[in-house]
Structure formats: C-alpha cells, structure tokens
Amino acid sequence: MAETLFSRIIRREIPAQIVHEDEHVVGFRDINPQAPTHVLFVPRQAIATLNDLVAADAELIGRLVLAATAYAKSQQLADDGYRLVMNCNRHGGQTVFHLHFHILPLKEGVDLRPHTGQMADHSILAAQALA
C-alpha cells in the first residue's frame, strides 16, 4: 500500500499532538477536530482499510481498541460517552488510508462538527505540535 502521512506522524517526521504511544499503537489529536477532544488511534503497522484485515490482525485490533478505550477513560470521557468510529473507503468517509479509530466524545447539547473530508494544512500542525 502507498504510505500515508500517518506513517510520517508515527515516525515523528511531521508534527502532531501525540497523546499515546506504545509498541503497537499511536494516538494523536485530529487536526480538524469534530469535537473538543477528537483523537485518532492508529496501529504502527500500516493497514489501509478495514477490508484489508486478516485473521492474524485480531490481536492488533484488540490492542487498538483497548488503547483507545483506556485513553477515553483516562480523559474522563467514558461516563458521558463517546463514539469509536472507523470509516472505510471513500463512500464510508475515509480520507486517510491507514487504518484508524476516531474517538469522538459526546456531551449533552454539544453537536459533533461535520466530517469534512478535507485534508489538513500541515502548517497548522506546527503550531499545535507538542513534540
């Protein structure tokens, strides 16, 4: 598969606000957030879409879900609730072809902003970067 900018974020070649890192999974803030805390959790291994998963990826997907849900709990998002969303392919709303979960926290009276499908302006990242 063609490499995406997420591989470059994982390798820290381009800046992002990284909120979680372990051997298998990286979490970072979405550059066009649909909610005040909109975070993406990605496997270090580049897998393009849900359609590309094979049985051998079961453990990795489990790790991805567990890392994302642990983050949601650590940020006190779990009680109010959130969506863990994975878009698949163009009509499914996927714009970056490196598998990822969106964590989209929901609060009463606060609507999610629309998923625009716009690619990010990387110059914005420089201002956001923590590392």
Taking CB under 6 A as the criterion, the residue among 39, 94, 99, 101 binding ligand 5GP is 94
- Is position 100 annotated as part of the catalytic site? yes
Residue 56, class by beta-carbon neighbours within 10 Å (0-12 exposed, 13-18 middle, 19+ buried)? exposed
Taking CB under 6 A as the criterion, the residue among 19, 25, 26, 30 binding ligand 5GP is 30
Which residue has tokens 């609730």? 81
Does 7 contact ligand 5GP by CB under 6 A? no
Binding mask 44-73 for ligand 5GP (x = CB under 6 A): ------------------------------
Does 37 contact ligand 5GP by CB under 6 A? no
Residue 109 φ/ψ region, left for φ over 0, alpha for ψ in the -120 to 50 degree band, beta for the rest: left
3-state secondary structure 30-44: CCCCCCCCCEEEEEC
Does 125 contact ligand 5GP by CB under 6 A? yes
Active site residues: 100
